[in-house]
Structure 1
Amino acid sequence: MLATPISMVLYHEISPHNKKREKIPEGTLCVVCADLASGIHYSVPSCNGCKTFFRRALVNKQTFTCQFSGDCVVGKSVRCVCRSCRLKKCFDMGMDPKG
């Protein structure tokens, strides 16, 4: 029997790909931008774009300032216009940094 290298064992144990994915109904929309959701990310149905935006904002400890009134529309075609309002909507819609 061949021994498994320790690095492979550790990778397998801590790999995020081992997490059990929650299935969502086909056609479920992202609660932030209304694009097609790819799964439950940070505790809410969200698309890969909003999931990645939220993760990067957290990891990089980014702060954004709205250049307008603080209530910009965040939708599939305009989700990148105001990062401040997009991040605010992520939190408002229940995205959990610990999720």
Structure 2
Amino acid sequence: MGVLLSLAAALAYGVSDFIGGIAARRTSAWPVALASGIGALVGAVVLALAFPGDPAPAHLAWGCWPGSAAAPAPPSSTAASRPGGWAWWRRSRPSAPRCSRS
């Protein structure tokens, strides 16, 4: 059963990545990201309603930790992809001493 669920998850990931890539070529990445986030939320709500349960607080903590750890990713990837990129980082680090060859 675990192998079948893993294969289904891999197939769903591959299909969604392919469709997201095609959509991002046709329009800006922001509407694609918004639509994928809304789709994920709708899917999670449907699954939560279809399979009700009684999670323990430890289960909820294990579920919240990855989401909070991944929260800085979208703003930092956006900052890295704009013109100038991480210019604030390049200015703040010390430059290496230059060696002159005589």
Q: TM-score, normalised by structure 2?
A: 0.28
Higher-Rg structure is: 2
* Greater helix content: 2
* Greater strand content: 1
- Specify which structure has the bigger relative contact order, considering alpha-carbon pairs within 8 angstroms and separated by 6 or more residues: 1
